[in-house]
Structure 1
């Protein structure tokens, strides 16, 4: 009767030996330990080899040095290779390192550019990133803004690489952000509010950054998108789903919009009075409804100029963006000349942030220059208003 071949594993791992099951001897880890997520070691095999080596050395026969395989679950990962899993070193992927780099940039530098006061430092450095862990659109917004911040300080082609990352993250955030606006709750309203501000900074910064790649980029179109996105801020107030952690009075009829005792300089006061009078002169009659909207928006703009003269921070410029009516945004979208003129005057205010915030660098100048090219009317009544903006931006 022929003898059966030996089926026991002589070099099985410690776990399989203890459990008295057949080991495939392919580890560490073997397939049994992999399936059960056990620590796979071969210490008993090494001890047996060492004992065998000692007996051989006593008999005068040299033995090979024992080789012990070890595995650290903390520093390794499993990779499927056919039907076999192997433990391999686990370096960070490039995409993972990029995310770490962008989060570090935001939490150490970028967040400061979004603060309108010292009281908001902790909010933007700690609270917002924590919110982003629960809302993908906000996380993508943070990563997008940080990528553009890095791109703004680099030279091509490195700047292009970060710009592409920023635009990709921005695009990923748009649909879920709009979905969140359409279904506001107490759980997501803070994230929606934070993302609105981040998107404003992105909208102001992106045309200048894409311009370094000789791409056609319109500041006016970008600002129309910003106006539309900021309607979500108003919706938070309208539906009353909760009080945000940032002072919403910047975007409502609260303390920010109360009368200020600060007087504008004579030049700015005269320019705003001039555009107000021009509105009365050319936007009456069939444009009466738009005339009233323009009066309100110019009054808001005058107030924001006064607030900026009192405290030169981003709040006045951002507050005006969120204060305008939907009808004004519709006029911008249709390239209505007087709406473009008012936006140009806001562009002069935006220009005052140049040097104070990286995302506003050259943005006001670019917007005013673009609108000057679009507003070249034959009506001489428009010329003084255009000249003022041109001179203030040194164009």
Structure 2
């Protein structure tokens, strides 16, 4: 659960003390703890903790949502942490095919995850000055990716989205992954045109196509950054916040290129599942569902599309 070393003290000392004063956070802690037992314990009836986890999570979520309308100044960092705990719950709850009301497909839970992180980003923007001075090591977390931390003064005029973001070097990627990610750009270019800026006089349809191309181009850019970043544990979860709400909207519509990008992100999720109990098996199931959808799309008729689907399936141990 610790992304950087500085978080350990906060999560083990500060957060439990704050949870005694804020019931929604206490419910969130109990929910994650119960789900951890359900997933990690060898007790025969360990799955009963899934229901306990859901009870705590639902109760904490109700209070959390009520607070969103008017967040107390001293709780912004706690709200941010609860949103993270909610992400763990979404990924860690029992998996299903989505065929019944009690089950959520892997694609469905990832869309929920993307919405959660969009909400967390709104909390960051709304409470920027509170978070910078909060007990949570926000400065230290940002320092892993942001240069010039002196701009993080409370009264600094620099907007959060103008931070001098430090990108990981794509040279860190091995040739196989570079080739796989390059196919994403190739497919986007072929289906949605080049990245040229629309000129005046071009028809509306072409302008729309180019805006779609840009949405995917940016998502692919951040996916490459996700694969290249090695220093921040769990950094791959930032993808949806970075890719933006337009990309999430395209996923919800099951747009082929959006799902093709998501398919490749699932490789990072699958890798995380080898170390994190809450991510175990979700990436592989996401690949199964997404590749099945893509097999009946126009993307499967393209060489780069077919090769991309086959590469991802092979990467997570599925037959090609």
Aligned to 2:218: 296
Q: CA deviation at 1:209?
A: 8.5
Matches of residues 1-395 of structure 1 in structure 2 within 5 Å? 114-154=1-41, 158-208=45-95, 216-239=103-126, 240-242=128-130, 243=132, 244=134, 245-247=136-138, 249=142, 254=163, 257-260=166-169, 262-284=171-193, 285=206, 286-308=208-230, 311=231, 313-314=233-234, 316-376=235-295, 377-378=297-298, 379-381=300-302, 382-395=305-318
Aligned to 1:134, what secondary structure does the other structure show?
Answer: coil
Gaps spanning 5+ residues in structure 2: where? 147-159, 194-205
Worse-matched range after superposition: 368-377 or 239-248: 239-248
Aligned to 1:187, what secondary structure does the other structure show?
Answer: helix
Q: CA deviation at 1:157?
A: 5.7
Aligned CA-pair RMSD:
2.7
CA contact (8 A) 1:186 1:241 kept: no
CA contact (8 A) 1:185 1:241 kept: no
Q: Distance in 1 between matches of 2:137 and 2:286?
A: 28
Query: Could you say if the C-alpha distance between residues 201 and 255 of structure 1 is closer, same or farther in structure 2, counting changes exceeding 3 Å?
Result: farther
Query: Could you say if the C-alpha distance between residues 261 and 366 of structure 1 is closer, same or farther in structure 2, counting changes exceeding 3 Å?
Result: closer
CA contact (8 A) 1:313 1:353 kept: no
Q: CA deviation at 1:155?
A: 5.4
Larger radius of gyration: 1
CA contact (8 A) 2:38 2:47 kept: yes
Q: Distance in 1 between matches of 2:88 and 2:171?
A: 27
More helix by share: 2
Deviations 1:159-184 (CA, angstroms, capped at 9, x unpaired) = 33100111121222223222333323
Q: Distance in 1 between matches of 2:232 and 2:283?
A: 15
Q: Distance in 2 between matches of 1:273 and 1:209?
A: 32
Query: Could you say if the C-alpha distance between residues 123 and 331 of structure 1 is closer, same or farther in structure 2, counting changes exceeding 3 Å?
Result: same
Aligned to 2:156: none
CA contact (8 A) 2:97 2:105 kept: no
Q: Distance in 2 between matches of 1:171 and 1:117?
A: 28
Aligned to 1:195, what secondary structure does the other structure show?
Answer: helix
TM-score of the superposed pair, with normalisation by structure 2: 0.78
Q: Distance in 2 between matches of 1:217 and 1:159?
A: 21
TM-score of the superposed pair, with normalisation by structure 1: 0.64
Q: CA deviation at 1:257?
A: 4.1
Q: CA deviation at 1:232?
A: 2.9
